[in-house]
Structure 1
Amino acid sequence: MFLTCHYFSKVLMHNTEINVVIPTPEGNEQITEAGPTQRYDYENGLPVVYLLHGAYGDNSSWVRFSNIERYAQAHNIIAVMASVENSLYQDMVHGNKYFTFISEELPSFITTLFPVSKKREDTYICGFSMGGYGAWFIGLSCPEKYGKIAGMSAAMDVAGLSDEVQKGNIEAPFPFHDIFEDPAHLAGSDKDIFELYRRDAEKGCVPELYQACGTKDFLYQMNEDANRRLTEMGAKITYSVTPDAMHNWDYWDSELPKILDWMMQK
């Protein structure tokens, strides 16, 4: 079942659009009293993955360019997709509060209206590029809410990204001075994945982690450096490197089923 929902967000203070995929019986399966209750446990709730889009994208990106509806059906998982503009998933200094929207309001809306499990171990977050950073940032900022985090071609080092953009070495659409109060000092802050991981590890509450990148991706070296730094900090990461893969949907669509396989492993 594929749904497009329009509703008023109190956090964003305007109407917003989300996409939701809910696995439903197919073929000769039926929903009856004696039906496929083991697979379709709507009463107790199905696992859910929040899928975050990249720069220039929106809630339709996953639907238009990946096979998420088929993958969600095959993995018996609910998928949720929303829009955050080019905000890097932050509560912007001059703009919308997208972190609060994604981490608080959206899950509350989804778990109230749809057959979604509220358990941490059934709640996952995944993204690519800007959304890869967003998934790690939100997941590590709220480790008590997410059992697993996955990022593909993720902008893992937001401090390094900010520096490179300010120097003109990387072209990116992020209005850093509208997003962050002090974009020149993101390293070691609560916007920094490495600092967030350190805090979570200190508290003893770290979600399971998945990192993926292609060797021809322009963010490959950033991902290699991030994996090394996090591993040195003691992080246990499932790290998937695909030779010759680039920063595009051919790669992300091929990696997504692997991530869903990993998420559904108990």
Structure 2
Amino acid sequence: MASMNCNYYSFSLKHNVDINIIIPTPEGNEQITSEETQKAYPYEAGLPVLYLLHGAYGDHSSWMRFSNIERYAQKHCVAVVMASADNSFYQDMYCGNKYYTFFTEELPAFVQSIFPVSKRREDTFVAGLSMGGYGAWFLGLSKPEQYAKAASLSGALDLEMAYEQTKGSDDGAPFHWDRIFQDPTAIKGSDADLMTLYDRCEKVGNLPELYFACGTEDFVYDMNTSIRTQLEERGSKAVYVEGPGQHDWYFWEAYIQKVLQWMLPV
């Protein structure tokens, strides 16, 4: 596979950004052979593309440093794009950067203009861990015309619960809620509330496929079971998976493989 780092100026963020891109190539997983190079890679039509989001404290390099995402991208013949979002919950912040605009408009436009990726909704996916798990569903449900599937690993999916648990805390709470949202107490029912977005998509018949997984020993487990209950009440077809695990890379390394198998069966 081809793996590269790009640095360019972002007009929506008003500063230079680093992004990591993985492009699968025709060589085999272990070595180049004449047989393997005959594989058909749809560069002209465009490769499927996964926007892979980091969690709190992370950045564009997190998945590259702590997982084997390069091997999995090669296996599933999918381009993977990773960029930084600070601790913003992927919002256009009330006092801060416009990360939602960057991830849904500027970044896809840049990637599609430079790299051999598809522009079709059915080939475009988003996934993430922790804060990025929320981010994946947030992007997918707020732009359902853009993403076919969205997957969350250990996601902080109930944002109101996350706010209540971390507001006023300096210990392990990196979120400046009053900078992200004009009124953090009004998250429920707002454009940042995943169930509100879900109901809108369902009303117009334009839901992306959803997947979420969480470890049973994870501190966000209750958030995920709360969302599971709300989705079950709606008769949702979202895929929920749980298993032994905590909020760590052992879980995410195992389950990103399940996510890719769900998105792009091989």
Q: TM-score, normalised by structure 1?
A: 0.95
Q: Deviations over 1:82-129 (max 9, x none)?
A: 001001100001100000000111001111110001111110000000
Give the aligned CA root-mean-square deviation in angstroms.
Answer: 1.6
The equivalent residue for 1:261 is 261
Q: Residue type of the partner of 2:56?
A: A
1:173-192 aligned within 5 A: 173-192=174-193
Return closer, same or farther for 1:170/1:155 CA change in 2, 3 Å cut-off.
Answer: farther
Decide whether the 8 Å contact of 1:164 with 1:170 is kept in 2. Answer: no
Q: What does residue 28 of structure 1 align with?
A: 33
Q: Distance in 1 between matches of 2:171 and 2:186?
A: 18
CA distance in 2, matches of 1:31, 1:107: 30
Q: 2:214, 2:84 → 1: CA distance?
A: 23
- Alpha-carbon distance between aligned partners in 2 of 1:86 and 1:77, rounded to the nearest angstrom: 27
Letter in 2 for 1:73: Q
What secondary structure, in the 3-state scheme, does the structure 2 residue paired with 1:12 have? coil
Q: Is the 8 A contact 2:76 2:265 kept in 1?
A: no
Measure, in 1, the Cα distance between the counterparts of 2:87 and 2:94: 13
The alignment-based identity, stated in percent, is: 52
Matched pairs, number: 261
Alpha carbons of structure 1 residues 171 and 24: separation in structure 2 relative to 1, 3 Å: same
Distance 1:242 1:183, change over 3 A: same
Deviates more, 1:233-242 or 1:77-86: 233-242
- Show structure 2 runs of 5+ residues with no match: none
Q: Deviation at 1:185? A: 0.8
How far off is 1:242 after superposition?
1.1
Distance 1:29 1:81 in 2: 31
Match of 2:154 in 1: 153
SS in structure 2 of the partner of residue 211 of structure 1: strand
Query: Structure 2 matches for 1:19-58, cutoff 5 A?
Result: 19-26=20-27, 27-29=32-34, 35-37=38-40, 40-58=41-59
For the residues of structure 1 that align with 2:260 and 2:228, how far apart are their CA atoms?
Answer: 21
* 1:171 shift after superposition: 3.7
Give yes or no for contact 1:45–1:117 (8 Å, CA) kept in 2: yes
8 Å Cα contact 2:145-2:206 kept in structure 1: yes
When normalised by structure 2's length, the TM-score is: 0.95
Unaligned runs of 5+ in 1: none
Task: State the distance in 2 between where 1:248 and 1:156 align.
Answer: 17
Paired residue for 1:251?
A: 251
Contact 2:59 2:85 in 1 (8 A): yes
Partner of 1:110: 111
Which aligned pairs between 1:142-221 and structure 2 lie closer than 5 A?
A: 142-166=143-167, 168=169, 171-221=172-222
Written as runs of structure 1 = structure 2, the 5 A alignment for 1:75-154 is 75-154=76-155
User: What is the match of residue 15 of structure 1?
Assistant: 16
CA contact (8 A) 2:90 2:99 kept: yes
